[in-house]
Chains A and B, each alone.
Chain A
Amino acid sequence: MTSPDRDGAPDRRLAIAAFAVMFCAAAAIGFVTGGLRSPSVDQPIAFNHRKHVVENQLGCSTCHQFYETETFSGLPAADVCSTCHSEPQGKSSEEAKLVRLLKEGRPLVWNSLFRQPSHIFYSHRRHVMKAHIRCETCHGSIALTTSPPRSVKRLKMADCIACHEQRNVSVDCTTCHR
């Protein structure tokens, strides 16, 4: 029994509790969305994936040299580009920029469009070579873009889990988290 003079107190407590619940929920939503907003990408040149993959029929591994043999995929170093681009192949101004950069002998520093968090173990070679997952499953239509896109396909843990569950692969936390 609550005494009359303390009437309203449970209500206040409920309000505080409700505040806390909503606070946490909103914070959690903010946490997830705020943390994974796509970055604005500044690349050495505006690389044209479509030109290479669709028009010239180059395989992804021509430039991303490691995804078949290593856990990571790799971004092309200057010497990979200079295999073809030591002299201009076409009339594109971006290519001219690349040729100039290569001639100056400076290392090419690409920014990753797809960032794998450091606390996740992910083996490209195993997914590509053994599970035969296609690149676009995770990387979307990146191969069709003509310049670095404003946004790319974003993967969440749920995507990983869904695929693992569908294929009956372990979903233990420590299978991927490290």
Chain B
Amino acid sequence: MTRWGMVIDLDRCTACQACVVACQVENNIPPVDQADSERGRGISWIRLAPFREGEHGTRPSLRLVPIPCMHCERPPCVKVCPATATVIGHEGLVGQIYARCIGCRYCTTACPYTVRQFNWKKPEWPQPMQDGLSPDVSVRPRGVVEKCSFCHHRLQRARDQARMEDRTLRDGDYLPACVESCPAEAMFFGDLDDPRSVVARLAAGPRAFRLLEELGTKPKVIYLSKGESGGDV
């Protein structure tokens, strides 16, 4: 069985935020101006979260962690959705079905990683910006919740291509836009159930951890902590 997952190596990550913009461009996220940005209307499916340590000591430190949707194995959002608008598929992708979403925002509250965002605003692109929209991703109307999809439209296309070539998917055929862009090559993506895949090997390594593991959500985004890898990866 395939189980899609992502590995983010915090020792390589430079917090440059290329993933954030790559995601916004790929997923037809509309630009917002200063006023709307200040009202929190800007949407990003992946963000850099600051963890400040020791601000009151003599030597503060700052950790910046990229946070996409964790595509949990036991996703709290799916449990609370009254409209079956968010679902987990057979390959572990937690999908958001916009046509079903009623905008109740139970899921945004339930998500412990706060990666779900509500569309307060009608999406608008000043001319001619809509020429840059991707035909692979639908534009979300006002009033629905959206979130990182692991760029599953890329899986749809990759699978379609593989089928046309009468073959199965290969490791690397399907990468989300953030992973593809990452300059420090800190992000990896693939099938966690395939023991030969890069993500499976990294996820089994000594530096691997998950965010808020104690909640039992079983995230499929795995982080690698800073420091020695303690062996070949």
Contact = CB atoms under 8 A, between A and B. Distances in A.
A177 interface: yes
Contacts of B139: 118
Nearest to A131: B163
A40 interface: no
B145 to A, nearest CB: 14
Contacts of A174: 87, 89, 93, 95, 149, 152, 155-156
Interface string A163-178: 0000000101111111
B125 interface: no
Contacts of A173: 87, 89, 95, 97
A50 interface: no
Contacts of A119: 98-99, 138
A156 B14 CA distance: 47
B89 A172 contact: yes
A114 B71 CA distance: 34
Nearest to B89: A172
A177 B99 contact: yes
A123 interface: yes
A123 B137 CA distance: 14
A126 B164 contact: yes
Nearest to A174: B95
Interface string B57-92: 000000000000000000000000000000101110
B153 interface: yes
Chain A, interface size category, equals 10 to 19
Given A118-B138, A177-B97, A178-B153, A130 B164 contact: yes
B185 interface: no
B152 A71 contact: no
B124 interface: no
A71 B135 CA distance: 11
Contacts of A19: none
A125 interface: yes
B163 A178 contact: no
A85 B157 CA distance: 36
Contacts of B93: 172, 174
Contact of B164 (A121, A125, A176, A178): A125
B136 interface: yes
B85 to A, nearest CB: 9
Contacts of B95: 172-174, 177
Contacts of B157: 71, 121
Interface string A19-63: 000000000000000000000000000000000000000000000
Nearest to A121: B156
Nearest to B98: A119
A126 B166 CA distance: 11
B160 A178 contact: no
A173 B136 CA distance: 16
A33 B138 CA distance: 22
B139 to A, nearest CB: 7
Most B-side CB within 10 Å, residue of A118, A126, A173, A178? A178
12 contacts: A117-B99, A172-B90, A174-B149, A174-B152, A174-B155, A175-B156, A176-B156, A177-B95, A177-B97, A177-B98, A178-B152, A178-B156
